[in-house]
Structure 1
Amino acid sequence: MPGKFDELIVGYVFALGATALWSGNFIVARGLTDQIPPVSLAFYRWLTAVLIFCPFAVRGTIREWGGIKQHLPYIAITAFLGITCFNTFIYVAGHTTSAMNLSLISITFPIFIVLFSSVLFNEKLTLKKGVGMLMVLTGVVCLITKGSVAKLLSITFAVGDMWMLAAAVIFAVFSILLKRKPEAISVQSFQFTSFVLGLIFLAPFFIWERIRFPGNVLNQTTIPAILYVGIFASLCAFLLWNRAIVILGPTRAGMVYYTLPLFTGLLGYLFLGEAIGIIHLFSMVVILTGIFLANQSARTRVGQTEKRMETT
């Protein structure tokens, strides 16, 4: 059925777009660790997203308020996990651990999705999916360590690693919850309500941080960065990701997240002057092959189901 196949393609494009925008968030966040505290960066990020999103979403949110009010506990939980906690934990982690550790730990998020989906929803972990995940992990580790086993073996873990691991678990749970989004609420209204609630939950921590670390954190360097993470890495990326989750499901969309180091490496080359070598190209081939294998069985089942529907 062409329509279903086209929808899957759109879902993968959305997931790739969100991942590419999030890779820019990592580039920006790493450069601001000495200029703005983590909670303040998160607060200004979501404040920007809410202000930009408001003119486009407030009417629909008011119109759908009945359904939103009915499912407010669910929205509040997803907002607290995905908006208040997730990126704030990443910004906190960036102050006390290395970029290599952050990258290695961040890619565990899709693994948690698969594990939680298997335990909670009896989703089968097929041989192809397992081999695909192993290939993806191999490619990402080769990319991050540049093929050096010594670099991988010499890694030591810090407090920030625990923050990053918690962020990975939180985002896995958040992605699974998104699949249960009430159909009565549009993606736009759901996202806007989540942004607002997440910002409200973040406000007390922001006030506490500003009291503890007073001083002006908004300058010609931080403001453009905040605008990027607020508009593109928050508003645009989350809209794309939420739509990808609805179309693909959390497991298949989660596999696309493994391409994050590829986008980060490209942006590092373009904006930070970091070199791209043979190991990067090798890793890209391994990662993309692993993603294809991990999702192949799901596409096969979809095709078989559609054939049965056409013959009945």
Structure 2
Amino acid sequence: MNIKNKLITNGYVFALLATILWSGNFIVARDIRDIVDPFSLSFYRWFLATIILLPFAIVPLIKNIVIVKRHFIYLSIVSILGVSLFNTLIYIASHTSSALNLSIISITFPIIVIIISRAIFKEHIGINKFTGILIVLAGVLLLITRGDISVLVNISFNIGDLWVLLAAISFAVYSILLRYKPKSLSMITFQLITFILGTMYLTPLYLMEFDTRIINEPTVTNTISILYIAICSSLLAFIFWNKSIELLGATKAGMIYYTLPIFTGSLAFIFLDEIISYVHLFSILLIFIGIYITNKNKKEIL
């Protein structure tokens, strides 16, 4: 395997690892959504992730402080989109939106990436990519409707669904903007400064929620849940995801995100005793076929 193919393979592995860790985030967040308020959960998540990363990245950050100052506006924008907004909007939406609606809208993120990349950056969409997207979308819709596509006809959208859509747009733009990360800024430095800025911009919302905050006694389970979100779904997942964007680009990495329902379903089966049927298996097959077709290197322009 030559160096180029090895880097591409690593990019897919990083994207897959990030997606797996994010799927665990959905399981954990569901358990504690009535225990911790949305802004509080986001604040605790990113504050802890920052504290954990700080000893490993503070020295590189200090050395690159001039670069940080020079690109402060850019770093602030990606911090707000990827750290402050994305998961906060998901946590808010989970209180008013159905699980089916959340699933359908959350998978629009890779499609939004492709649309924005095409509209703004004139990125070509080949026949393979277009066909693959349709197959993946069919597989995901089959999965979340359990084979009864007629369920989609009866969906009614509420304010929670709009929050999820905003979250998907926020993360899509964040992923695209990663291509403009200053090359002289190491990934660990970039990660720390976005965590710091994202937490800083969350603080006013966290304080604003003080009067209505749900206060519960900490338990071992709740503590482990928040630590998982902080370490795995925040720190590690974002490092893996940003690295995959760097190696693959936003569009190809975004396609791997379509596998999220597979891992979420598997974790739900293990931890929540949910049944996996033939519909799930057929959906998984469609999703992987679609991802394979989408990422075939065939220069056909649509």
Tell me the SS of whatever aligns to 2:209: helix
Matches within 5 A, 1:142-181: 142-181=142-181
Partner of 1:239: 239
What is the CA–CA distance in structure 1 between the aligned matches of 2:91 and 2:70, rounded to whole Å?
33
Kindly provide the CA deviation profile for residues 54-105 of structure 1, in whole angstroms up to 9, marking residues without a partner as x: 1111111111111111111111100011000000000000000111111110
The alpha carbon displacement at 1:184 in A equals 0.7
Is 2:102–2:161's contact at 8 Å kept on the other side of the alignment? yes
Matches within 5 A, 1:79-98: 79-98=79-98
Amino acid at match of 2:165: L
The alpha carbon displacement at 1:155 in A equals 1.6
The alpha carbon displacement at 1:222 in A equals 2.2
Instruction: Extract unaligned runs of 5+ from structure 2.
Output: none
Tell me the SS of whatever aligns to 1:146: coil
The alpha carbon displacement at 1:220 in A equals 3.3
The alpha carbon displacement at 1:199 in A equals 0.2
Partner of 2:191: 191
The alpha carbon displacement at 1:213 in A equals 2.5
Is 2:35–2:216's contact at 8 Å kept on the other side of the alignment? no
Matches within 5 A, 1:23-42: 23-42=23-42
Kindly tell me: are residues 282 and 189 of structure 1, through their superposed partners in 2, closer, same or farther at Cα, counting changes over 3 Å? same
Identity of aligned residues (%): 47
Is 1:105–1:161's contact at 8 Å kept on the other side of the alignment? yes
What is the CA–CA distance in structure 1 between the aligned matches of 2:19 and 2:268, rounded to whole Å?
15
Partner of 1:70: 70
Amino acid at match of 1:252: K
Tell me the SS of whatever aligns to 1:182: coil
Partner of 1:3: 3
What is the CA–CA distance in structure 2 between the aligned matches of 1:123 and 1:3, rounded to whole Å?
25
What is the CA–CA distance in structure 1 between the aligned matches of 2:13 and 2:76, rounded to whole Å?
28
Kindly provide the CA deviation profile for residues 3-31 of structure 1, in whole angstroms up to 9, marking residues without a partner as x: 10010000000000000000000111112
Is 1:138–1:286's contact at 8 Å kept on the other side of the alignment? yes
Between 1:207-216 and 1:110-119, the stretch displaced more is 207-216
Kindly provide the CA deviation profile for residues 112-167 of structure 1, in whole angstroms up to 9, marking residues without a partner as x: 10010001111011111111000000000101111012322222111100000000
Kindly provide the CA deviation profile for residues 160-181 of structure 1, in whole angstroms up to 9, marking residues without a partner as x: 0000000000000000001110
What is the CA–CA distance in structure 2 between the aligned matches of 1:63 and 1:258, rounded to whole Å?
38
Is 1:36–1:222's contact at 8 Å kept on the other side of the alignment? no
Is 1:36–1:217's contact at 8 Å kept on the other side of the alignment? no
What is the CA–CA distance in structure 2 between the aligned matches of 1:214 and 1:5, rounded to whole Å?
50
**TM-score scaled by structure 2?**
0.96
Is 2:11–2:247's contact at 8 Å kept on the other side of the alignment? yes
Kindly provide the CA deviation profile for residues 240-275 of structure 1, in whole angstroms up to 9, marking residues without a partner as x: 000000000000000010000000011001111111
What is the CA–CA distance in structure 2 between the aligned matches of 1:217 and 1:65, rounded to whole Å?
40
What is the CA–CA distance in structure 2 between the aligned matches of 1:216 and 1:266, rounded to whole Å?
30
What is the CA–CA distance in structure 1 between the aligned matches of 2:264 and 2:16, rounded to whole Å?
13
What is the CA–CA distance in structure 1 between the aligned matches of 2:7 and 2:252, rounded to whole Å?
14
Tell me the SS of whatever aligns to 1:177: helix
What is the CA–CA distance in structure 2 between the aligned matches of 1:219 and 1:77, rounded to whole Å?
35
Kindly tell me: are residues 107 and 69 of structure 1, through their superposed partners in 2, closer, same or farther at Cα, counting changes over 3 Å? same
Tell me the SS of whatever aligns to 1:19: helix
Matches within 5 A, 1:254-273: 254-273=254-273
CA RMSD of aligned residues (A): 1.2
Instruction: Extract unaligned runs of 5+ from structure 1.
Output: 302-312
The alpha carbon displacement at 1:214 in A equals 5.4
Matches within 5 A, 1:35-54: 35-54=35-54
Partner of 1:118: 118
Is 1:35–1:217's contact at 8 Å kept on the other side of the alignment? no
Partner of 1:278: 278
Between 1:206-215 and 1:90-99, the stretch displaced more is 206-215
Kindly tell me: are residues 149 and 214 of structure 1, through their superposed partners in 2, closer, same or farther at Cα, counting changes over 3 Å? closer
